[in-house]
Amino acid sequence: MRFRLKNLQRIYKQFIMLMFDVFTILSALYFAFVLRIGDATPTNYLLQSWWVFIVAPLIMIPLFIRLGLYRAVLQHVGSKVVTTSFQATTISCLIIGFLMMFFRESNLPRSVIPIFWFIINVLIITSRFFFKGILYSWDEFTESKYPTIIYGAGSTGAKLVRGLEKNTLYNPIAFIDDDKSKHGTILNYLEVFPFSYIDELIKKKSAKVLVFAIPSLNHKKRVHIFKKLSKYPIEVKVLPSSSNYSNGVLSIEKIQHLEVGDILGRTAVHPKKELLERNITKKNILITGAGGSIGSELARQIMKLSPNKIVLMDNSEFNLYNIHLELTSYDSNIKIVPSLCTVTNFHQLKKIIFTNNIDTIYHAAAYKHVPMVELNIVSGTYNNVVGTYNVAKAADELKVENMVLVSTDKAVRPTNVMGASKRMAELILQAFAEKSKTCFSMVRFGNVLDSAGSVVPLFREQIKKGGPVTVTHRNITRYFMSIPEAVELVVQAGAMAKGGDVFVLDMGEPIKIIDLAYKMIHMSGLTPIDNENPDGDIRIEYTGLRPGEKLYEELLIGNNVTQSEHPRIMQAKEGKLSMQDIQNFIGFIKEARESQDEKNVKDLLLKYIEGYTSDVN
């Protein structure tokens, strides 16, 4: 029966409620007479006041309809039903009282009206919550939602609780606040606890989600709190600091996932506007690998710097389509040109640069996944090395003003083919810089968070599937930086170049991957399985170092490094190859590609790349 009622069309539910309200109004009038007269069957009074039993429903039902009582969804009924009922019944009673005075009605006791007002309000309001409890069991309703802690017992936290009243995801159970004066107080029916109680709330009240509701808190304090929260098995969500909350209510759509970058704690450095604009504003820009993680973010940030034209180049039709669609959706007069091309196609590449009169090139196209390139030595090296040579050669021949290579920390004393090929790409630009009018430079940095194929999205997917989370080694470390910060620094570094510069980004302190795994598991509201917690949710599996993988990465080959005019960008002085050596290497790689000779490619890399070591000779 309950199932059939729940699944009735809404129009039928509204009709049933309307009929019930008519019955309730008549019943409330009857009981008002009984209470006033003191007789269970006040027949004479009822017969003399028959008209009020007709007028009351005729007045009140249209008012209920007009004030939206039947538009409210029964499953999410709340405080609005109280105000609507009070408004409708008060207006109705005033109208009935006016009719009594106008028609000099003396048979209806006047005190019946306030008694009726009280009874009808009680019946209408309680009936709505009663039906909600019957059709949508309160236990079923609350148990289907995640028990949620609100961090921040201020005005934003209060608005958030009100905004969550009608949602189907979160059930607020408590506040956490660092202000001692608020501890033990009640806000929106919820108790405020200190941070030290969070473990108890997780264990005793089964808290699954924590929403951080102090958007005005400064970055340093936010990071400190997020680091503390990352030790607990609770999913952390945040409210954006720039949100404007209107009408005293905060909608569920404002709640966002806490990103891994938020717990790593890098303090943002305000960019130098003149550096950002120097090689971009009112210029024609080419981005190779524009559909990738770095290339697409380059495109987004360059759009904000008012270039004349952006040429998006990628060999992936799908990635190129996505970034082109995104950029053309902006309200802008900047010309966006998609070019489906691989950097290994020199003639098409040169035509693109010439046709679009390119001023600045950001070369982000590369094969970067270490195990994948290790399994595809010839194609990986050919793409990264010959592709870079083609871009540099075309830029030199067409006298492009600037070319910036996006490089990697894996190019420093490489132990894998990908790193060695990227170091050769750096050497190519350094050789061209010796003779060219084009200003060549390269920017070297470590891992970026959430880039395609990186560890963060891999861990996220593994956690989503229930594990195991795979870590290659217990002591492995990596440098991390957010994609937007890395791109911002790449643009600024390129603007400082004089020719042949190797810029190295300050990546901060390296992070142990096992610590990152633990943090991400906790941030998902789960616990890792280990010796201290054998009954946890997610198992961590050590798989061993992959071919060519290092325990730790480096950013500098030597110690000859100077600070640039930007606090996060250093400049390194490193060894070079002659243009003759570069051309010889390119010739050998092209021959090796024809014969698909992997050993010859590795031998060439070992010969030309300083510090390159390989477990296979």
Same domain, residue pair 488 and 346: yes
Burial 7-23 (b: 16+ CB within 10 A, else e): eeeeeebbeebbeebee
**Which of 43, 25, 24 lies closest to 34 in space, CA to CA?**
43
Q: Verify that 357 and 434 share a domain, yes or no.
A: yes
Last residue of a domain, one of 137, 153, 180: 137
Q: Is residue 616 in some structural domain?
A: no
Any idea what the Cα angle at residue 276 is, between residues 271 and 281, rounded to 5°?
Answer: 150
Domain boundary among 258, 290, 310: 258
**Residue finishing a domain among 137, 172, 191:** 137
Residues 48 and 65 in one domain: yes
Q: How many CB atoms lie within 10 A of CB 281?
A: 14
Q: How many CA atoms lie within 13 A of 10 on its CB side?
A: 6
Confidence of residue 578 (pLDDT cuts 50, 70, 90): very high
Residues 118 and 174 in one domain: no
189 is written with which tokens?
A: 């029916």
Residue 543 in domain: no
For residue 163, the model assigns a pLDDT of: 80
Residue 594 scores a pLDDT above 70 = yes
Residue 85 lies in a domain: yes
Residue with tokens 């009954």: 535
Share of the chain above pLDDT 90, in %: 37
Each residue of 175-194: pLDDT tens digit?
999 999 999 898 888 899 99
For the stretch 422-459, pLDDT in tens is 999 999 999 999 999 999 999 988 877 777 667 888 88
172 and 294 part of one domain: no
Q: What is the CATH number of the domain that holds 570?
A: 3.40.50.720
Over residues 523-529, the mean pLDDT reads 84
Domain that holds residue 297: 282-456+481-509+554-608
**pLDDT over threshold 50, residue 393:** yes
Q: pLDDT (tens digit, 9 = 90+) per residue, 89-113?
A: 888 888 877 777 776 666 667 777 8
* 203, 229: one domain: yes
pLDDT band at residue 69 using 50, 70 and 90 as cut-offs: low
Alpha-helical runs (H) found in 152-210: 155-163, 198-204
- Whether residues 360 and 427 share a domain: the answer is yes
pLDDT reported for residue 2? 47
Domain count for the chain, please give it. 3
Q: Is the pLDDT of residue 74 over 80?
A: no
**531 found inside a domain:** no
Identity of the amino acid at 56? A
Q: Which two tokens stand for residue 70?
A: 């039947």
- Note whether residue 273 is domain-resident: no
Distance (Å, whole) CA 595 – CA 604: 15
In this structure, the strands spanning 477-478 and 439-444 are unpaired
Q: What is the mean pLDDT of residues 384-397?
A: 97
Q: Are residues 82 and 176 in the same domain?
A: no
> Does 532 fall in a domain?
no
Answer yes or no: is 198 within a domain: yes
Structure tokens given for 521: 């598991």
In a domain, 617, yes or no: no
166 and 45 share one domain: no
